[in-house]
Every structure is written in structure tokens, then in C-alpha cells.
Amino acid sequence: MELSFIIIDDTELDHFIARKVIANANKNYSIKSFLDAPQALAYIQEDNHDEDAKIILVFLDIYMPLMNGFQFVEEFEKLDQAIQDKYYIAALTSSIEISDINKINSYRSFRTRITKPITANGITQLLNKIATEFGIELD
Amino acid sequence: MAEKIKILYIDDEMDNLTGFKATLRLDYQVFTAVTIPVALEHLEKHPDIRVIFCDQRMPVKTGVEFFEEIRVTHPLPMRILITAYTDIESVIDSINRGNIFRFVKKPWVEAEIVSAIEEANKFYQANSMLSIKNEELQRAYNELDKFAYSVSHDIRGPLSGILGAINVARDMHDITEMKEMLFLMEKSLKKLDTYILSMHDYYSLQRGELHIGDIDFKKLIDEFKDIYKAFSNTASINFKININQREPFRSDTVPLKLILNNLLSNAFKYQNKNNDAKMVELNIEVHRGVATIQVSDTGIGILGNHLGEIFNLFYRASSQEAGSGFGLYNVKSALLKLNGQIEVNSVLNKGTTFKVTIPTK
């Protein structure tokens, strides 16, 4: 598949929901789950994952202990440009705090923002947008 | 008895100073200065001087000029001008530039000075109270900010999860899958419930008064031993309790229980899942009016750079378990009420020991 997924969230229920919603869109998508950001960062640093995937869509929760979404993105932006180019990071937040929204908008690596919970509609829209932007076939 | 109020008198005539001190030294702690540098020295050494009297007519600087300067550098003490010349110009000057509290006319009489000091002291106290209240208010505001932020995440987070699950359930037909999701929903709701209960603890600690009584640690521990025993059996964690109390101890049970419960539940929660010999140990010793409580675990430990922050409101150093970010903050608040102390020692992947000391009331 030209598109694959990484979910970074400290809440198991939110993983479950995101996986369900993604699988409902297409059950062949590959999805990796991480319950904390440092593990996900270590995984992304290794690179060479998903050779087939043109774009890896990352659902990144903002409010997490240890390393929050902002700290993750700051580390992510230090990685090789070639690695960064493969990932499309969506900020996932349950909050409607204006300070969070402004902060999310201030990072170039946050390509979009989704308010929890993820819904079928929301994901379809996002996938269509990515498909057009990167010339990916959705089936 | 309350400490004597500190007052300072500046006059270039030594005789005036001597007379002033002789009259007032029984009721007040009187500092005198024959020049302004000496006065400033007193003010540096005794920042709690509450009232300053100053003669208007002095060489080098007038009283008004002196007051004008120390208004900026020492704003707290009340300023009273002593003068024999009360022309309207100098009155206006002393009010506008010196921002003085009162005039005393020379030659002064004792009753007038005493009443000036008492009135000035009332003002001083009201002002200090105001600045303490201001600080408290600022702290409360800061916590309120943290709360507002936390509410939108810690309360809305689990709720949005449940809503998402209900959405997903509409297209779900597999019972096992459904049950798995219900289990996760329960976990999120329990987390929300813990959060709300801890918020209640937080509030009662901030507002509640102490109710001191005799503490029997054996009885106290018996009350919630069973909960942890049950927990220790299902998770196969060895739970050891040693209590050594041979003397009476007085304190408040509510904050005490809160401290013990938080430390114990943390010790059980943050266990190292790969460890075969899991253990939680509770040691309580009362000796010479001090209770020492130690809670040790064989858990995941806390990274050194998080240690300084674990007592902060909403700080969480692990994603392993559903922490609310309240627990240790509430422990610290409870200890503040009981004049207690807490120390923590932790080795990553080996375990953590919290040591609490509380004096008897």
C-alpha cells in the first residue's frame, strides 16, 4: 500500500478507535501503535520502514506524559529531511484550548489537526486530501 | 508576648534622639540615627522596621527628600514627618513627594507619638496582609490556569474516547471485539473517576481544617490493609507491613490516610512487569514524637531528571498506568498541613522508596 499509519497515544481506547476507523476505510492498511512518544521516535529514526509506502500518516496525541506531542515534533524536526518527508503528522487533541491550537499551528511539521474522537467522516476527508496532494491511489 | 514594634527616628540633634528613645523604648524597639547613612544602615539590617520618624530640617537633605528616596527603596515602613515649621508649602511637599502618613509637630508630646505609631502600625499590618493575600491569589490563579488546561484534557479526553467508541460500535458486529472495546471503555471511565476523586481530595486539602486526634497506626492500616492484600494476591506482589509504635501520636487521620493511600497505590501500580519477585514494603516507626513512614517498591523507578518534578500538579513521569497527576501533589499538600517532610530515592528498573516524617501535634 502506498499509505500506512502510525498511532502515538497513551490511551488504549483511542488506539482501538483509531484502528477501527482506519480499518473501516480500508482493512489492508498497515498500522503501527505506540503508547508513548519516545518509542515511536526511536522507531522512526531507524528509517527504512514500509518501503512501499509513499507517505506514512502519523496520528500524534498532544497530551501525553514523558514526552508530549510538541516535544516529539521538536525531536522529529531534527531528523534527516529524507525521513521527515515520508511522514505526514496529524495532531490529535481532545482539547479545544486556543493556546494548544496556536501552538500546533506554529510547527511546520503539524500538517493538520484533528479533534478527538476520530470519525469515519474525518478520516475520509483527510485521506482524500493526502491522496490529491501526493498523487496516491486510494482503493 | 508579641515582639515589640520596630521604629526608627532620624534627627540631626542628638538630644532629640535621646529623649525620644528614653520615652518610647519600653513599649517599642527604637532605632535612632543622627545622619541619613546611619538610618539607611538600620533599614538594611532591620527590614521589618514598621514606622520611620524623620525631622524635616536637617543638613545635607530635608526629611521630605529623604522620604522621597526611601519611598522607592523601602516602600513598606510608614513615614511620619516631625517638624516645627508647618508652612503650607512644606505640607504640600511632604504629602505629594514624601507620601507621608502623618505629621507630628515639634515639640512633640508622648501621647501624640504613641497614637501615631499605633495608627501607622494598623496601616502597615493591613498592607502586609494585602501583599500576602495577593501572593496567595496569584498562586491560586496559576493553579486555576493549570486546572482549566487539565480539565480540557483529563476530563474531555476520556469522554471523547467513549464518544468515539459509541460511534465505532454502530458498525461493529463481532461480540468479542465489542467486549474488548467495553473493557477499554471501562478503563477510561475508571481513569476519569480517579481524576475526579483526586480533585475532591485536592479541594478538601486546600480548604479543610485539621482535626487532631490520637493515632493508632495499627488500626489505621487495618482499615485499608485488605484492599491492598487483595491487590497483592491477584498481581502476585508480596506486601510486607511493619509497624512499631510504643508511644502516643497525635495528628489528623484524613491527610494521613491520603498520604498512605497515594504512596501505597503508586507502589502497587508502578511495578516492574518483568520482575518475578515483586514486593511492596510499608514501615512505620514512631519515635520521640516523630512518625517515620517508608514505602518501598520493586517497581519501574523514576528517572533522575523527573524526580524534581513529581510533586508538581499534573506532572506525570510514566505512561505505564492511568495517573491523574494529582497523587503526589496531594501528598505534598497534606504534608504541608501536618508540618511533615518527604524524601524520595529511586533507581530506574529497581524500585522507589518514599520516606515521610511527620511530627506529633
Task: Convert the pLDDT of each residue in B229-242 to its tens digit.
Answer: 877 887 888 899 99
| pLDDT for residue B2 is more than 70 | no
Q: Would the ipTM clear 0.90, i.e. be above it?
A: no
Report percent pLDDT > 70 for chain A.
96
The average pLDDT across A89-97 equals 87
Which of B157, B159, B184 comes nearest A12 by C-beta? B184
pLDDT for A6-59, tens place per residue? 999 999 999 999 999 999 998 889 999 999 999 999 999 886 666 778 899 999
Q: What is the pLDDT of residue B234?
A: 79
Within an 8 Å CB–CB cutoff, is residue B157 touching chain A? Answer: yes
Q: Do B181 and A65 touch (CB under 8 A)?
A: no
pLDDT value at position B1? 47
A64 CA: distance to closest CA in chain B (Å)? 8
Output DSSP code: residue A78. Answer: T
Q: What is the pLDDT of residue A49?
A: 62
> Cβ contacts (< 8 Å) between A13 and chain B: which residues?
158, 161-162, 164-165, 181, 184-185, 187-188
pLDDT at B83: 87
CA closest to B185 among chain A residues: A13
Q: Where are the domains of chain A?
A: 3-134
Query: Cβ of A23 under 8 Å from any chain B Cβ?
Result: no
pLDDT at A50 (0 to 100): 62
Instruction: Quickly state the pLDDT bin for A2 (edges 50, 70, 90).
Output: confident
Superfamily of domain A3-134 in CATH is: Response regulator (3.40.50.2300)
Most confident of B34-48, B138-152, B307-321: B34-48
| Residue B186, pLDDT above cutoff 80 | yes
Q: What is the mean pLDDT of chain A?
A: 90
Confidence of residue B322 (pLDDT cuts 50, 70, 90): low
Mean pLDDT of B46-67: 92
CATH topology of domain B6-108: Rossmann fold (3.40.50)
Count of A–B CB contacts within 8 Å? 80
Per domain, the residue ranges of chain B are 6-108, 140-207, 213-359
Q: Do domains B6-108 and B213-359 have the same CATH topology?
A: no
Distance from CA of A51 to the nearest CA of B (A): 31
Q: Which CATH number fits domain B213-359: 3.30.565.10, 3.40.50.2300, 3.40.50.200, 3.40.190.10?
A: 3.30.565.10
